[in-house]
Chain A
Amino acid sequence: MSTIKAEDDTLYFGDVAFSSRLLTGTGKFSSRDIIEPMLEASGSELITVALRRVDPKAKEKDILQYIPKSVRILPNTSGARTADEAVRIARIAREAGCGDFIKIEVITDMKYLLPDNAGTLKATEILAQEGFIVLPYMMPDITVTKQLHDAGAAAIMPLGAPIGTNRGLEMKPMIKRIIEISKVPVVVDAGIGRPSQAAEAMEMGADAVLVNTAIATSHDPIAAGKAFALAVQAGRMAYLAQMAGKRTYAEASSPLTGFLRP
Chain B
Amino acid sequence: MHIILNGEETAISGPTLLAMVKEKGFAPDSVIAEVNLQLIKKEDWEQTVLAEGDTVELLSFVGGG
Contact = CB atoms under 8 A, between A and B. Distances in A.
Interface of A: 25-29, 32, 48-54, 56, 59, 61-65, 75-76, 78, 88, 91-93, 95-96, 98, 163-164, 190, 210, 212-213
A53 B33 CA distance: 10
Given A51-B59, A62-B61, A64-B61, 17 more contacts: A25-B63, A25-B64, A28-B63, A29-B63, A49-B63, A50-B61, A50-B62, A51-B60, A53-B7, A53-B58, A56-B25, A61-B27, A62-B62, A63-B61, A65-B30, A92-B39, A210-B65
Top 7 A-B pairs ranked by shortest CB distance? Answer: A50-B64, A212-B65, A25-B65, A26-B63, A27-B65, A62-B30, A62-B60
B33 to A, nearest CB: 10
Contacts of A78: 64-65
B65 A53 contact: no
A92 B65 contact: no
Interface of B: 6-7, 24-27, 30-32, 34, 37, 39, 41, 57-65
A125 B27 CA distance: 35
Contacts of A32: 63
A210 B26 CA distance: 33
A interface, over-half SS: mixed
B30 A26 contact: no
A28 B65 CA distance: 9
Given A92-B32, A95-B39, A51 B65 contact: no
19 contacts: A26-B62, A26-B64, A28-B63, A50-B65, A52-B59, A52-B60, A52-B62, A53-B58, A54-B31, A54-B58, A56-B24, A61-B30, A62-B61, A63-B61, A63-B63, A65-B30, A76-B65, A163-B65, A212-B65
Contacts of A49: 61-64
A29 B7 CA distance: 28
Contacts of A98: 61
Contacts of A56: 24-26
Contacts of B37: 88
A54 B26 contact: yes
B63 A27 contact: yes
Contacts of B39: 91-92, 95-96
B42 to A, nearest CB: 9
Contact of B64 (A27, A61, A64, A88): A27
Contacts of B34: 92
